[in-house]
Amino acid sequence: MKYTASYPAARPRRLRQSDWVRRLTREHRLCRDDLIWSIIIHDGADDEVPVAAMPGVARLSVRAAAAAAKRASKLGIPAIAIFPYIDGAKKDSSGREALNPEGLVCTAVRAMKDAAPEVGLMVDVALDPFTDHGHDGLLHEGRILNDETVKVLTEQALIQVRAGADIVAPSDMMDGRVGAIRSALDAEGHQDAMIMSYAAKYASAFYGPYREAIGSAKALTGDKRTYQMDFGNTDEAMREVALDVSEGADMLLVKPGIAYLDIVSRVKAEFGLPTYAFQVSGEYAMIKAAVANGWVEEDRIVLETLTAFKRAGADGVVTYFAAKAAELLG
């Protein structure tokens, strides 16, 4: 970048002196169209069950999720990402409940589509909410089975799309799952169903509150480092993304968010596909904790962090703050 003048002829503060000129010269803008609202649903009777680790977030019943879809429509939020909390009695080592077409996710998808058909629905493709060991795949003698898991995930994605899901989002990080899901969807006539791949998902300490929210925290045995990425790697992320692109991913997702802006930037620059970031539960919880202690101003920090994703190159953000941000953005 070249500058044509130096101080005192050039005074950058001229362009910051009033609100109107700051708005006029702003390089990156956040709008409601950039938001995907992350919600947790549950199969209980109560409309809302607060999540202790995520103040302001509650597990929603199917009825409350349908109401949330209507609210998203009124707020101008384009899409909702759905994550389930199921009764522990329905969990087993194979995650069999993930393949139930009358289960929680499919029931919620149908109800939400009936309530607000104009709102896109994105569903999680992974087994961790459904397994009694808390892993995203099938576990055998302490090892996650890749190819066997992909077969189950493919069937899970098909069932979700049959129920009305618009986007399937495999978050499991098994090798080859995007291609398998794409082939299965196309073979069954679901060519328009979209895949948002968790193309670069890191083994992160930021996921703790989410695991409480979906009920897998206490169940998890070991960790997920054999399939989620090492947080020290960037080139590996590019290889992961390249594979998912070659297998038919329509959109790409980087997870977690704020600590991985460099990955967001590289992915968008190198591949050019619609690229998203996930402002995960740990990020949400840290902000809410700081707000509760009076250390930061919530409205400002929500918009600032979400805009940071846009500045890094993201086309949008999956966030628990979507409804609040939409209200702030007017």
Known catalytic residues?
Answer: 201, 255
The beta strands (E) that lie in 188-325 are given as 194-201, 251-255, 275-279, 316-319
Is residue 240 within 8 A of residue 199, CB to CB? The reply is yes
Cα–Cα distance, 193 to 4 (Å, whole number) = 50
138-140 and 143-145 beta bridge pairing: antiparallel
What does the H/E/C string look like for 212-223? HHHCCCCCCCCC
Q: What's at 237, amino acid-wise?
A: A
> Please, what is the end-to-end C-alpha distance for the chain in angstroms?
35
Name which of 132, 199, 196 is nearest 161 in CA terms.
196
Q: At what angle do helices 177-187 and 146-163 cross, to 10 degrees?
A: 40
Q: How far, CA to CA in Å, does 74 sit from each of 32, 37, 77, 108, 170? A: 11, 13, 8, 19, 28
